[in-house]
Amino acid sequence: MGEDLILRNQLFVGDCRNVMALLRENPLYRFDVIFADPPYNLSGNGLQWKNKKDGGDWYMVNERWDQFGEESYAEFTYQWILQAYRLLKPTGSMFICCTYHNIGDVMTALHEVGAKCLNLITWQKSNPVPNMTRRTLTHSCEYIAWFAHGKGWTYNYDLMKQEPDANGKQLRDLWKFPVCQGAERIKGPDRRAAHPTQKPLALVRRALRATTRPGSSALDPFMGSGTTAAAAHELGLRWIGIEREEKYVQIIRDRLESRGADFNVSPKPTLLDLSAEEDGQQDRWTPRSRPQARRRSFYSAPKPLG
């Protein structure tokens, strides 16, 4: 009864690292699945393609929340993954979206916290944006790292065989979904995409369906446009979402209210002093002691030409 009372559908406003650290103080905040679409650290060049013939104008992500230095991004990735991993049930799963630009930091952090790698899912976009420079291959894929806390994770094998592209056989790690366009794409007052990295509902729904039971709980540390909450609502899951940007909080409100979802929005919690913990403390999640250079992974790749 207590768990049902605490784990109601709820959106927390604030930095996910702080919110998750506070949630960890209550042992009832433990989740069966975590789906995260973190910043990719790709903003800054302001690329855009107007009057594109298919799908309308295109603007590359160019947001303040998506800009980090190389070392600060690696540390940010480790910090939030560590906090999320601590909230995962022993039988839980974690899905993290990434591209070849940040997959090194994501995979390195997951291994460092002790997570078990199950699959590296390739999301093949059926409608990728053409390459503007004509000097490289079209970037038509993103990745979803699927990790578990340990043994005994949930995987609905027979249910996934029923997925349309499985054709009654084992579902593979290549998932083909279109980039959000048309009616699914949430638009702002300027008719541009309200959130630059909105993920397809069908993709998120598949990940949740694959790894949950009726009544399971889901956490999204970067709620963005609210896709994880929308998928959880469809599947009858309990969910907790975290979003720092006020403009996206309103988008989430509007999207979920239009679906008749029952949820609460909690204001920003008291910020933690990230520099106050002493070196050597077991729960330390400020910059780690080993040199930054040793944390760089061979997975890392340079940013694209355009």
- Number of domains making up the chain: 1
Q: 301 lies in a domain?
A: no
Q: 302 lies in a domain?
A: no
Instruction: Report the candidate in 231, 241, 246 with the shortest Cα–Cα distance to residue 201.
Output: 231
* CA dihedral (33, 265, 268, 5) positive or negative: negative
Average pLDDT over all residues of the chain? 82
- CATH number for the domain including 17? 3.40.50.150
Q: 131 lies in a domain?
A: yes
Instruction: Report the candidate in 97, 116, 213, 205 with the shortest Cα–Cα distance to residue 155.
Output: 213
Q: Which of 75-84, 169-178, 221-230, 281-290 has the lowest mean pLDDT?
A: 281-290
Q: 129 lies in a domain?
A: yes
The model's pLDDT over 227-261, given as tens digits with 9 standing for 90+, comes to 999 999 999 999 999 999 898 999 999 999 999 99
pLDDT at 299: 34
Give the residue numbers spanning the domain of 78.
2-267
Instruction: Say if CB 85 and CB 116 are below 8 A apart.
Output: no
Q: In the block, which residue shows the tokens 């996934």?
A: 160
Q: 300 lies in a domain?
A: no
Q: 14 lies in a domain?
A: yes
Instruction: Say if CB 48 and CB 132 are below 8 A apart.
Output: no
Cβ neighbours around 188 below 10 Å, total: 11
Q: 201 lies in a domain?
A: yes
pTM confidence score = 0.82
Instruction: Report the candidate in 72, 70, 204, 95 with the shortest Cα–Cα distance to residue 153.
Output: 95
Distance of CA 49 to the CA centre of its chain: 26
Instruction: Say if CB 61 and CB 303 are below 8 A apart.
Output: no
Q: 305 lies in a domain?
A: no
